[in-house]
Structure 1
Amino acid sequence: MSEFSAMQKLGCTEILRSLTHSDLFTLKDTVAGKQFNAWTTEEAINVILRYSQSAEELLKRRKVVREAILKYLIRHDVVTPVSADKQQLIDKVLSYWVQEEWKRKAAINQTKQNLLVQARNQEVEQETKERAAKAKIEVLAQEVKMARRELEQARHDKDQLKRQVEEQARKQKEEKVKQADEERRRQMKQMKKEAEEQARSELEEQIKRKLQEQMREQAQDEAKRQLELQMNIHFNVIQGEAPPLTTGDFDCQEIGEEFCQWFFVLLNSQNPSFGRQPEEWGPQHFWEDAIFQFAYSVEEHHIEHHQSSVVVSQRLLSLVKDEQLLFNPNIDRNGMRCVTSPHGIVAIAVAGTIHKNTQCLGIFEQLFGLVRTPFGRSNWKIKYVNLQMKALNGQQEIIQPNLSIELPALVAHLNELSTLLK
């Protein structure tokens, strides 16, 4: 096997590449024999280097001519006499390679020393950084400790101040409660005194009226008795029934049915699922100061109050247009009531069911207060609306709702509506 140093191998490779193709392959056959095939210059050089004993032995080969060695030395700036023979040139080359090996090893050693020094410097720098970081951490720890003590002190001061404020608020509350109790007892005492005085005054007035009425009846009876005695006439008093109250020149139940049919068709038409062209809806159907009271129960009970024709019409519109509800009123005599006052005010109460798409969500009761406009006997506007809705869960059976607003309650609503108009 060949023994070449790294520099010798590089130098011999460069010298062999300078040979002609025929000389190179002849040298390959001389060194390794013809049984080792080589097809390229690199393959031939590898075979020659593998089977050569040493660099000197290879350079002494006849095919490695003197001119190839001389050109190599000149390329690498090695001073060489032009008249030197081949052996002298081989010695120069070998000496040059030894020197280059020393330089390479020295460079490697210098590099190792530099790396060691650099590593040592990095270790020192790392230790310095670690000490600085440790010192900084200790300073931060002291600052955190001081900040924690300050925070605890601030919390203590805050708790103490909070207790003082709470104690002061408690005393003020107790004082207010005490003053309120005293004021309530004083008012109760005053109200009791006024009630007693009023009751005494009413009792005295009632006794006085009763005495006057008794005296007047006695005087009338005495006068009648004296007149009967004088004229010898016996009066026969016949007790008859009072004439029934009239409801005006129209059928109240009929106008209630017509109004409910008109109102709910108009309102439901604003819902796209109703399947009809939306009719004209707006504040023109309400008085400007119309009132809307809306109560509904789902999981909790909620009450809304609205006033003005615009707000009332918009809130009712949102129920069918935005929330997609449909109202199905029961306008027979079991589900609708209607009463009227001597002033022409009409109160209508109607019950029904609430639907959304194909589901029945619950039931409702709605009370309307209608007032006739002065521009025609058939023109009415809505003055008051009271709507109550109740959601039903899936386990409750939906039956035809009965109107819980009986006639006395409806008359009370009518009286209340009449009071609002005054």
Structure 2
Amino acid sequence: MTQFSVMQKLGCTEILQSLNYSDLFALKDTVASKQINAWTTKEAINVILNCSQNAEELLKRRKVVREAILKYLITHDVVTSASADKQQLIDKVLSYWVQEEWKRKAVINQTKHNILVQARNQELEQKTKEKAAKAKLEVLAQEVKMAKRDLDQARQVEDQLKRQMEEQARKQKEERVRQADEQMRRQVKKQMKKQAEEQARSELEEQIKRKVQEQMREQAQDEAKRQLELQMNIHFNVMQSEAPPLTNGDFDCQVIGEEFCQWFFVLLNSQNPSFGRQPEEWGPQHFWEDAILQFAYSVKEHHTEHHQSSVMVSQRLLSLVKDEQLLFNPNIGQNGMRCVTSPHGIVAIAVAGTIHKNIQCLGIFEQLFGLVRTPVGRSNWKIKYVNLQMKALSGQQEIIQPSLSIELPALMAHLNELSVLLK
């Protein structure tokens, strides 16, 4: 069980926030033995605090550098020597936290004392008010007794007046009823005549309505036939375009691949503020409900992830550009993109490119998509399968022209695997 005082927890959180992103997550993996995942800085700090025994043990970690502790002491106006070693700084910050904890407890104790004094004063004041209220109630009781006697006399007079008014109201009601009956008879005659006219008009409107419904049904059938004729048009969820040219009785895969990659990576990159475009509508609507994401990346070590469902896949891809601030630059050309299609209409697209953050090129990626057409709409397509592999650059390695390592036989194998998933 972790042993952190309030001040220690706040102080350690502030020191951890000053670490850079890679050191923070490396420290998280060390403390949690790589058994707990974290996607944000806040989650990583919570894992580190919950898995550390105490503040001193955490501060002695190698990733908690001396400069971060010194910066914290200077920020909080703690007098210290700039030449002090890390252990001396740790002792200084632990002592500072103990003093702050004493101050905090002193303030809490003083506040409790003030509350108790205030409560006692309120209790005395309440008792005084109760005594005054009791005396006032006795006076009011006498006044109520006298008022009750006057009220009884007033009620007798009121009952007499009420009987007179009821008799007068009864006579007026009888007269109104008589007049209403006479008026009702006149209205009934008029209503019967009006109903006969409305019935004739209703029959005419019903005939017109049936004719309009028949015309609408014929128009709907014509529209359905027109939609079937447009089944070969390509529409990647939110992008509408004309149907691609046909090649040997099938789709032109190169055209499909280029249009899809241009649409997908512009949509994904727009979620990154540094892309310089208004964010477009990103979400699970672009994926099938049971979509699968296979994600592998290599920085210092190789990591793999598996996500399933349209929500999980869309959120994980979104976190790469929105939370980690990455930008994907696909190589949409003959050397950087492959596309094949099956007899069932399933399309597999593989594309390679570079990964950027701000003005730096961080690495390369290869991404494989499996697309399946929806049975309704103007040939809408949704993403069924995504395989993303990312590799970080080391040293000053440069990329002149990233090439695609997924050759056509391998791409056809992926397409066959995707066809099996759909059975």
TM-score by shorter chain over 0.5: no
Q: Give the TM bin, normalised by the shorter chain.
A: 0.3 to 0.5
The structure that has the greater radius of gyration is 1
* Alignment TM-score, normalising by the size of structure 1: 0.41
